[in-house]
Amino acid sequence: MIVLDIAVFATADSNWQLALDEYINAANYNLSTFGMRLNVYPPRPSEPVGIPLVGPVYDPPPDYDFISMRPGDLRSAAALVLPQPHGIPVIFTKFHQTGRAGAAILREDRAANRNVDWLNYVLIRENSLNSDRGCLLHELLHAADYNGDFDRFGNRFLHDSDPKSIMRPNPVNGVPPVVYQRHAQALHTSYFARTVGP
Ligand SMILES: [Zn+2]
């Protein structure tokens, strides 16, 4: 069995209750085919670890505006409230920008991280539940450095053109997302994967 360790956080004004369990259950359903599951800290039904910040995160941050909250501010706060790592941080927060249910912040995104060298982590929009429930696993795949076949970003392709794939850019109404072997492989080699049991 392979477990993917995730540590769940929420800002003080987040409605994390809306989507957290739906996303965890959907991810575990899709992962079970590959002998994988999420290992969630704190274990449900405990609440996420609280981050004493409020208001929206700006991703990308506005040019020349150093005050608006950046993803890295949330990540730094997560390290303060939970100094011992428990896997990849998954942070529920308000988003300034519309149109996305979640975001993976990649290590090379120096502006988002204010030049701190954080490993990849995930932000989840607190007030939306995306229609295919695939948001958390989708963002974890980005954070696992999954390389798709379109949407070039730097030296990688972020998404799959296959409209059934969990790595399509957006949910497709009535089409459940499919996880393929190549996705499981990317997760298996991520920094938050761990083999347990015999
Ligand atoms: Zn994506």
| pLDDT of the residue at 155 | 87
| pLDDT over 90 (residue 154) | no
| pLDDT of the residue at 140 | 98
* Cα dihedral 61, 63, 69, 71 in deg (nearest 10): 30
Whole-number Å distance, alpha carbon 151 to ligand 1 midpoint, is: 9
| pLDDT of the residue at 48 | 98
| pLDDT of the residue at 95 | 97
Amino acid letter, 92: F
Q: Which of 145, 178, 182 is nearest to 163 (CA)?
A: 178
Whole-number Å distance, alpha carbon 142 to ligand 1 midpoint, is: 7
Strand, helix or coil for residue 2: strand
| pLDDT of the residue at 197 | 87
Average pLDDT, whole number, for the chain?
Answer: 96
Whole-number Å distance, alpha carbon 172 to ligand 1 midpoint, is: 13
Per the listing, tokens 């506005």 go with 62
pLDDT digits (tens, 9 = 90+) for 129-144: 999 999 999 999 999 9
| pLDDT of the residue at 97 | 93
Q: Is the N-terminal amide bond of 60 cis, ω within 30° of 0?
A: yes
| pLDDT of the residue at 63 | 84
**Fold (topology level) of 2-192:** Collagenase (Catalytic Domain) (3.40.390)
Is residue 12 left, alpha or beta, with left meaning phi > 0 and alpha meaning psi from -120 to 50? Answer: alpha
Whole-number Å distance, alpha carbon 88 to ligand 1 midpoint, is: 17
Q: Which of 137, 123, 144, 136 is nearest to 69 (CA)?
A: 123
| pLDDT over 80 (residue 198) | no
Whole-number Å distance, alpha carbon 131 to ligand 1 midpoint, is: 15
Whole-number Å distance, alpha carbon 82 to ligand 1 midpoint, is: 27
Burial tier of 150 (Cβ tally within 10 Å: 0-12, 13-18, 19+): exposed
Q: Which two tokens stand for residue 46?
A: 């405990």
Whole-number Å distance, alpha carbon 132 to ligand 1 midpoint, is: 13
- With cut-offs at 50, 70 and 90, classify the pLDDT of residue 27: very high
Provide the whole-model pTM.
Answer: 0.97
Whole-number Å distance, alpha carbon 198 to ligand 1 midpoint, is: 34
| pLDDT of the residue at 64 | 84
Q: Which two tokens stand for residue 83?
A: 């100094």
Terminal CA-CA length for the chain: 8
Whole-number Å distance, alpha carbon 13 to ligand 1 midpoint, is: 25
Whole-number Å distance, alpha carbon 100 to ligand 1 midpoint, is: 9
pLDDT digits (tens, 9 = 90+) for 181-193: 999 999 999 999 9
Distance of CA 78 to the CA centre of its chain: 14
Whole-number Å distance, alpha carbon 197 to ligand 1 midpoint, is: 32
pLDDT digits (tens, 9 = 90+) for 41-78: 999 999 999 999 999 999 998 888 889 999 999 999 99
Whole-number Å distance, alpha carbon 137 to ligand 1 midpoint, is: 10
Domain map of the chain by residue range?
Answer: 2-192
